[in-house]
Amino acid sequence: MSSIAISTPRATEAAGTTLHADANATYATALERSALLDGLIDAHAANDPARFRMLTGDRPTGPLHIGHYLASLRNRVRLQDKGAETFVVIADYQVITDRDSVGELGANVRGLVLDYLAAGLDPARTTIFTHSAVPALGQLMLPFLSLVTDAELRRNPTVKDELALSDGRPLSGLLLTYPVHQAADILFCHSRIVPVGRDQLPHLEQTRAIARRFNTRYAAGQSVFPEPEALLSDVPLLLGTDGSKMSKSKGNVINLRDTADETAARVRAARTDSQRRITFDPTGRPAVANLLTIAGLFLEEAPESVADRVGDGGARVLKQVLTEAVNESLAGHRARRAELARDPAHLASVLHDGNARANEVAERTLATVRAVMGMSY
């Protein structure tokens, strides 16, 4: 039996409330599981690295900024040092999902490697590789594409957001299949853990569905691919210096490669408000709360504590505290980055070795896929 729902404003509002509640419940469950995973990593990763194999990565669309550092880079180093086997993909093919040219791709890739190494990622323990250098990833895409529908891809939040911002530009096939690219990146190395933010949970759920469907449809129930789990970041969503979402394309960021003077200039231009006393009020004073949050993350203090310290000093003192916190915290990173930049041959060897390791793993995975699908000719 089926029924037809008649949409009324009240019915629509109720449906929206239900969806919001469901999303919050899903997030709460993911947080609980993530905390458990973190404890397991602490206890066991050093003795069983493959059990906690992790994949993460970045699109080389520009320099990394403090948002990347606080929400991702520091955590990657922490997990590596705990013993988790780590893969980091530089997703260069994904640069052209939503743009017409590759831009300064080579320089951007080298910049990412510089920041990875300066932050503490160790090529002996972490496989750093570029997507385009691993042909087997593209071949894995084909069976994976057979496991998703057009409707599922169009419902993906990233695809929907990019389409909404496209000003009528046609949706490219590359952007539409973006979630499947990510699935191939995650599954080729049999990643068990994927560090993500809340907004990336739908991507991971799509990957889990692809793994599950492949095992059922093509592998007769064998567990060829594990269903990876989310390790959620405890860093809240950070805003840019203009009060909107932090974004490389908007230029509202503090880059890791910026000098101390450039950092000071960017912070001076940051949006605040007209109230002199500084308080932590994310709802009523989001721009001020954002600066307090960033300062607190670098100082390893609660934002309320930073607000109490600034008190009646106003925006000027708040910006001074933030500038000092960023520059002092990143001084070592920036010095290591500058030293590494003087040895381009070392950067090239890091990528060469990482690409070789990723290819070895990907070819093994592809051979398994071919075997279970009866394609080993």
Q: What is the pLDDT of residue 97?
A: 81
Q: Is pLDDT above 50 for 11?
A: no
Residue 304 lies in a domain: yes
Q: What is the pLDDT of residues 283-327, one digit of tens each?
A: 999 999 999 999 999 999 999 999 999 999 999 999 999 999 999
Average pLDDT over residues 348-369: 98
Same domain membership, residue 166 and residue 89: yes
CB neighbours of residue 28 within 10 Å? 10
Q: Please indicate whether residue 109 or residue 240 has the higher confidence score (pLDDT).
A: 109
Residue 6 lies in a domain: no
Question: For the chain, what percent of residues have pLDDT higher than 90?
Answer: 70
Residues present in the chain in total: 377
Same domain membership, residue 324 and residue 305: yes
Beta strand pairing call for 126-130 and 86-90: parallel
Same domain membership, residue 289 and residue 231: no
Q: Please indicate whether residue 247 or residue 147 has the higher confidence score (pLDDT).
A: 147
Separation CA 362–CA 357 (nearest Å)? 9
Question: For the chain, what percent of residues have pLDDT higher than 70?
Answer: 94
Same domain membership, residue 283 and residue 331: yes
Same domain membership, residue 208 and residue 127: yes
CA distances for 225 relative to 44, 84, 204, 221, 222, angstroms? 22, 18, 14, 11, 9
Same domain membership, residue 352 and residue 319: no
Separation CA 33–CA 18 (nearest Å)? 23
Cβ partners under 8 Å of residue 80, min gap 6: 86, 120, 121, 122, 125, 126
Q: What is the pLDDT of residues 179-216, one digit of tens each?
A: 999 999 999 999 999 998 888 888 899 999 999 999 99
**DSSP assignment string, 165-204:** TSTTPPPPHHHHTHHHHHHHHHHTTT-SEEEE-GGGHHHH
Residue 84 lies in a domain: yes
Same domain membership, residue 351 and residue 365: yes
- Per the structure, the count of domains in the chain is 2
Average pLDDT over residues 18-44: 80
Q: Which domain holds residue 272?
A: 260-341
Residue 24 lies in a domain: no
Residue 10 lies in a domain: no
Residue 7 lies in a domain: no
Q: Which long-range contacts (CB under 8 A, 24 or more apart) does 279-283 make?
A: 279/307, 280/304, 280/306, 280/307
Q: What is the pLDDT of residue 50?
A: 86
Which residue in the block uniquely carries the two structure tokens 């060829």? Answer: 224
Q: What is the pLDDT of residue 189?
A: 97
Separation CA 41–CA 48 (nearest Å)? 9
The whole-chain average pLDDT of the chain stands at: 90
Q: What is the pLDDT of residues 44-84, one digit of tens each?
A: 988 998 889 999 999 999 999 999 999 999 999 999 999 99
Q: Judge contact between 358 and 129, C-beta under 8 A.
A: yes
Same domain membership, residue 185 and residue 51: yes
**CATH code for the domain of 268:** 1.10.240.10
Q: Is pLDDT above 80 for 224?
A: yes
Q: What is the pLDDT of residue 5?
A: 32
The answer to whether the pTM exceeds 0.85 is yes
Q: What is the pLDDT of residue 88?
A: 98
Residue 245 lies in a domain: no
Q: How confident is the model at residue 22 (pLDDT cuts 50, 70, 90)?
A: low
Q: Is pLDDT above 50 for 102?
A: yes
Beta strand pairing call for 86-90 and 54-58: parallel
Q: Please indicate whether residue 25 or residue 178 has the higher confidence score (pLDDT).
A: 178
Same domain membership, residue 173 and residue 60: yes
Same domain membership, residue 296 and residue 173: no
Q: How confident is the model at residue 249 (pLDDT cuts 50, 70, 90)?
A: confident
Same domain membership, residue 160 and residue 227: yes
Residue 377 lies in a domain: no
Q: Which of 128, 132, 135 is closest to 347 using CA atoms? A: 128
Q: How confident is the model at residue 13 (pLDDT cuts 50, 70, 90)?
A: very low
Same domain membership, residue 317 and residue 182: no
Q: Judge contact between 63 and 31, C-beta under 8 A.
A: no
Q: Is pLDDT above 70 for 23?
A: no
Separation CA 171–CA 59 (nearest Å)? 19
Q: What is the pLDDT of residue 21?
A: 60
**CATH code for the domain of 362:** 3.40.50.620
